[in-house]
Structure 1
């Protein structure tokens, strides 16, 4: 379990930490802390106990209207402000003495959707967070993506962190073209996050999407797996439910074991971040979740 992580969202939750964390875990992923005292507690506790932590950007809540910077926007002013926003947060982290192992951003942002994408079960905070392929040329997507990769690579050296891009809803520019692998080979500092719930959900609502192909292609570039399950049988149910061996594929749950076997076969050092609502299950079930995932990885 040396590569297992738990999530901390909104605050440093001591009750969750005592219940969910294990001594042999790797660390914590933190996001949107609302109180400066909790940020200081995160830094102090992890430093004192030798616990690693990553950041799901941003660490601080309330510093922008939207959580995710829109660094691929076709609007030059929005792109410029997005980069400025990220750098200001990097400067803040440096000032506070925070030393995250990685900082994670959603990609692409804005999300570029196929024109008939089923939005019923996909959550966006604001209409500006997505656009459509018909309105976003692939050449622009490639250009602004490379600008992002180059910039993050420079900042990773300057501020000493691993830039991680978490796949949001994916478009045919990623699914059918090979330019993203080219960027990952060229800018090796930039890594990926595969989110099991998102992959499963898109596979169920988008007939053109093959999540197994995406996992096979990008597992080697993956730094973090966001692990959670979701039931999709008509509508989305039980979002961010813990991954348990009792959850059956025929009922609409994700094939978690298959996902992890493919990923860890080519990338045994990947971090497993339990992005689930652990309060939905008992202590015994939580232990069962950890043991099951550990057995998959070890085998």
Structure 2
């Protein structure tokens, strides 16, 4: 389980840490911390327990109205503001020496005009734009600038930049421009989010998550692992993955997703981005054991 992580969102929660974290885990991914005390607790435990720190941008929650940096915005000033914000966060994080810093991509999200996105989670209209008003050439240009800039910053600040797929459109799954960028700027890695992939599969009739995993799995360094039940309604958001949660009931085919990813990189890091309080201690252990068995061939006890 030395490739496993847990998340700490908003603060350093000692109850979650003591219950969810295991001594052989890789680390903790932190996001939107609200105070210095939480930061110091994270650093203290990291030093004493010897685990790595990953950061889901932004690390600090102060003055955050829209969580994600809009580095692909069509407005040049908005893009410049996004880069300045990231720069400031990277400078702040220097003393923490994070293993990686993760950003949602694409941001703004480019939405397929053919799809009803009303159930996709956005906090502000600035977070999305429709594909019909954003050309492929624009996306290629702004994305290459991002990859080049993140590569330079990764060398300056000694971290791995990771891009987590948000909502995806035809530019990403019907062309190869993004694959070429990951090949050219190979310090930049990818995060695959199982819940987002499943959710989009259920609302977007043109989207195939398994094709995405096969297409981009070789560039992935991290999985955000959680489940969600989607039928006529959406239930159990960020639910822990368990073997009895079956696709025919609306759950994500987690074992199939992980099986595809394993063929590309069985040592990929896995962040359990779930609400562990929804299940018992025994089921949490079963969750960890089941995933470890899928990825490393150990049977569930």
Query: TM-score over 0.5 for the alignment?
Result: yes
In 1, Cα distance between equivalents of 2:39 and 2:115? 38
* 2:223 is equivalent to residue 212 of structure 1: no
| Equivalent residue number for residue 30 of structure 1 | 30
Q: Structure 1 stretches of 5 or more lacking a match? A: none
Name which of 235, 240, 243 aligns with 1:242: 240
In 1, Cα distance between equivalents of 2:262 and 2:286? 20
In 1, Cα distance between equivalents of 2:11 and 2:223? 22
In 2, Cα distance between equivalents of 1:258 and 1:250? 13
The superposition leaves residues 174-207 of structure 1 with CA deviations (integer Å, 9 ceiling, x where unpaired) of 0100000000000000000000000001011101
In 1, Cα distance between equivalents of 2:233 and 2:100? 34
| Equivalent residue number for residue 178 of structure 1 | 176
Find the residue that maps to 1:33 and give its secondary structure: coil
Give the Å deviation of 1:218: 0.8
Give the Å deviation of 1:266: 1.3
* 2:201 is equivalent to residue 203 of structure 1: yes
| Equivalent residue number for residue 15 of structure 1 | 15
User: Map of 1:284-299 to 2, 5 A cutoff?
Assistant: 284-299=282-297
Given that 1:121 and 1:235 are in contact with CA atoms closer than 8 Å, whether structure 2 keeps it comes out as no
| Equivalent residue number for residue 5 of structure 1 | 5
Find the residue that maps to 1:237 and give its secondary structure: strand
| Equivalent residue number for residue 190 of structure 2 | 192
Given that 2:12 and 2:42 are in contact with CA atoms closer than 8 Å, whether structure 1 keeps it comes out as yes
Find the residue that maps to 1:294 and give its secondary structure: helix
Give the Å deviation of 1:265: 1.5
| Equivalent residue number for residue 74 of structure 1 | 74
In 2, Cα distance between equivalents of 1:284 and 1:180? 41
* 2:274 is equivalent to residue 282 of structure 1: no
Find the residue that maps to 1:64 and give its secondary structure: coil
The superposition leaves residues 97-153 of structure 1 with CA deviations (integer Å, 9 ceiling, x where unpaired) of 111100000000000001132223210010110000111011000000000000000
Find the residue that maps to 1:103 and give its secondary structure: strand
Give the Å deviation of 1:43: 1.4
Find the residue that maps to 1:29 and give its secondary structure: strand
Given that 2:4 and 2:26 are in contact with CA atoms closer than 8 Å, whether structure 1 keeps it comes out as yes
The superposition leaves residues 34-55 of structure 1 with CA deviations (integer Å, 9 ceiling, x where unpaired) of 1111011111210222111100
- Normalised by the length of structure 2, the TM-score is 0.97
Moved >3 Å (runs of 4+) = none
Q: Structure 2 stretches of 5 or more lacking a match? A: none
Find the residue that maps to 1:72 and give its secondary structure: coil
In 2, Cα distance between equivalents of 1:238 and 1:186? 39
Given that 2:266 and 2:296 are in contact with CA atoms closer than 8 Å, whether structure 1 keeps it comes out as no
Given that 1:192 and 1:222 are in contact with CA atoms closer than 8 Å, whether structure 2 keeps it comes out as yes
Given that 2:5 and 2:270 are in contact with CA atoms closer than 8 Å, whether structure 1 keeps it comes out as yes
In 1, Cα distance between equivalents of 2:220 and 2:53? 17
Aligned length: 297
In 2, Cα distance between equivalents of 1:130 and 1:55? 23
In 1, Cα distance between equivalents of 2:44 and 2:155? 24
In 2, Cα distance between equivalents of 1:43 and 1:78? 32
Name which of 160, 166, 169 aligns with 2:164: 166
Give the Å deviation of 1:66: 1.0
Find the residue that maps to 1:53 and give its secondary structure: strand
Give the Å deviation of 1:269: 1.9
Give the Å deviation of 1:283: 0.4
